[in-house]
Amino acid sequence: MKKTVVLAALLLSSLLAWASPVRSQFFKTSDGLRLHYLEAGSGPRTLVFVPGWLMPAEIFEQQILALAADHRVIVLDPRGQGRSKAPPQRLQAAARARDIDELLQRAKVGDHVLIGWSLGVMEVLDHTVRHPSAQLRGMVLIDNSIGMGSAPAATATKRQRPLGRDEFRAYIQRFAAAIFKQPPPPGWLQAIEASATQLPPKAAWSLLDKPYGREYYKNAVLALDVPLWYAITPRLAEQSLELMQTHPRARATVFEEAGHALFVDSAAQFNRGLKEFLEGMP
């Protein structure tokens, strides 16, 4: 309860103060979990955001502020993140992909654009494979690998994963600060920590252990017959080149001066690019 209060007080209050009414909504999944999402605005097309590893829905605050005047905007708290609860044994990739499908159904979403960031890139792509929708009109993938270009060098990350709660909390504090290249708005680091530490460390790390390799995501991208925008930092430039060569409806933008949370660091540029992408869609 304490973490939920901190999360809401630090971020949702600013949304309620400045945006058109932002509604805090819940729905029940087919396996009995109560998941949370934010909703604002209205329009014939819905923008559905899926945040990254352990991040709360409110990380997309500046996109809600910029886009809700002309679009219906929905931001999911994936199971185990933000205000969506989940026991550790119910965090499987298939369940998280199904959650996106059930969100679309419960919120009565028609024509929509899926927007995934970081781990959310993998999860929206997985969703399109497992639960293809005739009402998907576009896709935005923010700063994660899509299985193209050269495979990244192997790392020892798994061996170094901290499992003690205090050690994990210290890791999350460093991780949260590192995703921004510019100082984030006041309170954001604390809100991210509140979201990121509600799962036991072992369960949190398990979210990154997807059951398929790079080809799965590459094939998912190539199978998309909708406009696609790949918004990335320079480390993924090689993948963007292959994407542009192999997907006839794709475009890419490299955010040179932003960190991993590029839609926060370069919010004006990102929001402008997203609006241009949306306006160019059929």
How does residue 151 score in pLDDT terms, banded at 50, 70 and 90? confident
Each residue's pLDDT tens digit, 76-85: 999 999 999 9
Quick one: pLDDT at residue 4? 46
How does residue 108 score in pLDDT terms, banded at 50, 70 and 90? very high
Quick one: pLDDT at residue 38? 97
Kindly report each contact of residues 262-265 with a partner whose C-beta sits within 8 Å and lies 24 or more positions away, as own/partner.
262/142, 262/143, 262/231, 262/232, 262/233, 263/60, 263/62, 263/63, 263/117, 263/142, 263/231, 264/59, 264/62, 264/180, 264/182, 264/184, 264/185, 264/188, 265/180, 265/181, 265/182
Each residue's pLDDT tens digit, 191-241: 999 999 999 999 999 999 999 999 999 999 999 999 999 999 999 999 999
Tell me the HSE value of 96 on the side-chain side, using a 13 A CA sphere: 35
Let me know: does 152 contact 244? Beta carbons within 8 Å.
no
pTM (2 decimals)?
A: 0.93
Domains of the chain with CATH codes: 2-279 (3.40.50.1820)
Each residue's pLDDT tens digit, 2-46: 454 344 445 544 544 444 589 999 999 999 999 999 999 999 999
Mean pLDDT, rounded, for 69-98: 95
Dist. CA 60–CA 63, nearest whole Å: 5
How does residue 129 score in pLDDT terms, banded at 50, 70 and 90? very high
